[in-house]
Homo-oligomer: A and B are copies of this chain.
Amino acid sequence: MSEKLLPRAERRRRTEGRILDAARTLFAELGFERTTIRAVARMAEVDPALVMQYFGNKQELFRRAVRVAPVPDAGLDSDELVEYLLGTLTLKIGELPQSSLAMLRSMLTHPEAAASARELLGRQIDRLADSVHGEDARLRAALMTMIMLGVTVGHQLLELDELREVSQEEIARVLRPSLRALTGPEV
């Protein structure tokens, strides 16, 4: 146990990291309400009071735990667009970051998670709308986003057998035409 010998700053950094990891795991698995500060502390091998001392309250702990990477920039043609989406699916199915899972898990029942989800999905829609042309570009971008949301929810959160049984490549292959049907006319 060389941990006791670490300098103060480093020790603090690691403990905070352990708490955030535990929080992400539990929020992703159970959602905001069913995750207790006590359980997070137990998993991080720390006193519950320390979690409060570091993060103020449960709300703020959640906020810090679900900080998610920003959506990359736009400017793709139709083909690249579809492959980008199917790629995120592959990514999602493989190892979607637990911070995103935590947000998705709580988005239907926790007001702030819902707000975060709306913002994230809104950015995704904006980004797609830039690469989609023709009429109803924005609506089509929104529907593409909803398709990906539905598949991700079914696969990652509901863990439906029908999606778990097949490979990510197979899902991408079968789903591809549906996304292509929503990309606008070629430029």
Instruction: Please give the residue numbers on chain A whose beta carbons come within 8 Å of chain B beta carbons, in ascending order.
Output: 30-34, 104-109, 114, 117-118, 121-122, 125, 136, 138-143, 145-151, 153-154, 157-158, 160-163, 166, 170-171, 174-175, 177-182
Contact status A151-B160, CB under 8 Å: no
* Minimum CB distance partner of A149 in chain B: B150
What copy number does this chain have within its complex?
2
Instruction: Please provide the 3 A-B residue pairs with the shortest distance between their CB atoms, ordered closest to farther.
Output: A150-B150, A31-B109, A177-B181
Known contacts A31-B109, A150-B149, A181-B181; decide if A142 and B162 are in contact (CB<8 Å): yes
* Minimum CB distance partner of A138 in chain B: B162
9 A-B pairs with C-beta separation under 8 A: A105-B109, A108-B153, A121-B158, A122-B161, A142-B154, A142-B163, A143-B174, A146-B153, A146-B163
Contact status A34-B182, CB under 8 Å: no
Contact status B178-A162, CB under 8 Å: no
Kindly identify which residue among B34, B174, B179 contacts A109, using a CB–CB cutoff of 8 Å. B34
Contact status A143-B171, CB under 8 Å: yes
Chain B positions within 8 Å of A157 at CB level:
108
Chain B positions within 8 Å of A34 at CB level:
33, 109
* Minimum CB distance partner of A117 in chain B: B158
A84 → chain B closest CB, angstroms: 17
